[in-house]
Amino acid sequence: MDRAPSLATLTEQTKAAFEKRFGRPASIVVAAPGRVNLIGEHTDYNDGFVLPMAIDRYTVLAADESRGETARLYSSLVEEQQDVPLSAGDVSFLPAWTRYVRGVFDAYRDEEGIQTPVFDAVVNSSVPLGSGLSSSAALEVATATLVETLTGKSVSPVRKGLLCQLAEHRGAGVPCGIMDQFSSVLCTAGHLMLLDCRSQETKMVPMNDPGIQVLIINTNVKHELTGGEYAERRGQCESAAKILGVPSLREASTSLLEERKSSLDDVHFRRARHVIGEIERTIAAASAIETSNWDEVGRLMYASHESLRDDYEVSCPELDVLVQAAAELDTEQGVIGSRMTGGGFGGCTVSLVRTDAVESIAQAICDRYLEQTGIEATAFATPPAQGAMVITSN
């Protein structure tokens, strides 16, 4: 299993890197986690429900105010330092990772009138990059937490999530929903977060049975395709809702979809069927978890995967191999359920497994994956972790 430094270790490493780089101690340290979604995929931008949790992998920023014109950011991950302007202007010359940071400065300034002061910072992270575990949301939310600490001005947690979503839209040009940024801001340790993406209300669902673990397995592939699949799916959902005569697919039902089947082409029908079914599965999974009905949770997770694979078409052969390998081990051997998680086309699967078998299950799935694909997968288990936090501020 893949081990990562604890938050405490990562914090110490980041503080030490700051002092070495900038020659004085950091006065502020903040952290924000990545997330994994247990169920409710591609439902957030359809006003539906999602059921993510924060993972025990964090992006940490150690910082201190400074003089000068621009923020100076050193990334321990890419081992480079960049000057990031704090005032409005062209950002196209900035390297990709700094655009998320810059997107947050812009969102706080343009939407809230909160101007980030000049500072120096070191960025470090234990969130695997580009694996569908929201490393970019973790960076945005950590930056927002830093901006609020530096200025002493804060917005509500929901507003903070929305400003970070805006930063992602601007920084990466991906029209993502609210799940990733809301998870990084709002999740609490020991809980899944049932988020109603229409009302933006949350309900925390306890997930602290010591006999059950959340296992994440990374395919270690990312299919670039043409890059526009996410926006394309989003567009197809909007068109399907329009044809069905509803404001969003949240307001549609299976019976309405069946009734109007002839007015939709096959692709739009299947996209809508995924979203409508997935919203129902997410609500059902949250109640099944509350009553520890693990068989039902497992069934819903596999159904979610099949729907994402066949109707929504965002899976890929590598994700399917991992889910299939988990399903073959089945409940007898401690696997409760498994599915792809996040946007798709690579990245990770999430599985629920019995704690006493977690190591052997991870090993068996990774062995099978290597045998079938020739690629090494990486696995780690994580408790539901705490959302963004200020670690030091003086």
Q: Is 343 helix (H, G, I), strand (E, B) or coil?
A: coil
> Residue 221 or residue 357: which is nearer to ligand GLA going by CB?
221
For ligand GLA, give the closer residue by CB, 45 or 380.
45
* Residue 392 CB neighbour total at 10 angstroms: 15
Q: How far is the CB of 183 from ligand GLA (least distance, A)?
A: 9
Q: Which is nearer to ligand GLA, 44 or 318 (CB)?
A: 44
CB of 178 to ligand GLA, least distance (A): 7
Q: Which residues bind ligand GLA (CB under 6 A)?
A: 41-42, 44-45, 176-177, 179-180, 342-343
- Cβ pair 175, 210 in contact under 8 A: no
- C-alpha 386: how far from chain center: 14
Of 118 and 284, nearer to ligand GLA (C-beta) is: 284
Per DSSP, the three-state class of 221 is: strand
The encoded tokens of residue 383 equal 């408790």
Between 46 and 126, CB nearer to ligand GLA: 46
CB of 196 to ligand GLA, least distance (A): 14
Judge whether 192 and 38 are in contact, CB under 8 Å.
yes
Bridge partners, 214 (sequence order): 352, 382
Residue among 62 and 138 whose Cβ is closer to ligand GLA: 138
CB of 202 to ligand GLA, least distance (A): 15
* Residue 157, beta-bridge partner list: none
Residue nearer to ligand GLA on the CB measure, 61 or 133 = 133
Question: In angstroms, rounded to a whole number, what is the distance separating the alpha carbons of residues 63 and 124?
Answer: 12
| Nearest distance from C-beta of residue 272 to ligand GLA, angstroms | 16
In the complex, minimum distance from the CB of residue 200 to ligand GLA, in angstroms, rounded to a whole number: 13
Using the 8-state DSSP alphabet, how is residue 115 labeled? P
Q: Which amino acid is at 14?
A: T
- State which residue, 180 or 311, has the beta carbon closest to ligand GLA: 180
Taking the C-alpha atoms of residue 351 and residue 360, their distance in angstroms, rounded to an integer, is 14
Helix, strand, coil shares of the chain, percent, nearest 5, are 45, 25, 30
Quick check: is 180 catalytic? yes
What sign does the CA torsion over 177, 106, 122, 12 have? negative
Radius of gyration of the chain (CA): 21
With contact defined as beta carbons under 8 Å apart, do 341 and 41 qualify?
yes
* Contact by Cβ (8 Å): 28, 359: no
Please identify which residue in the block is written with the tokens 């019995």: 354
Enumerate the β-bridge partners of residue 339: 350
Instruction: Give the span between the Cα atoms of 300 and 285, in whole angstroms.
Output: 7
Per-position b or e across 140-176, b if 16+ CB within 10 A of its CB? bbbbbbbbbbbeeeebeeeebbbbbbbbbebbeeeeb
CB of 349 to ligand GLA, least distance (A): 14
Number of H helices, E strands in the chain: 11, 13
Q: Which residue in 106, 180, 266, 320 is the catalytic one?
A: 180
Active site residues: 180
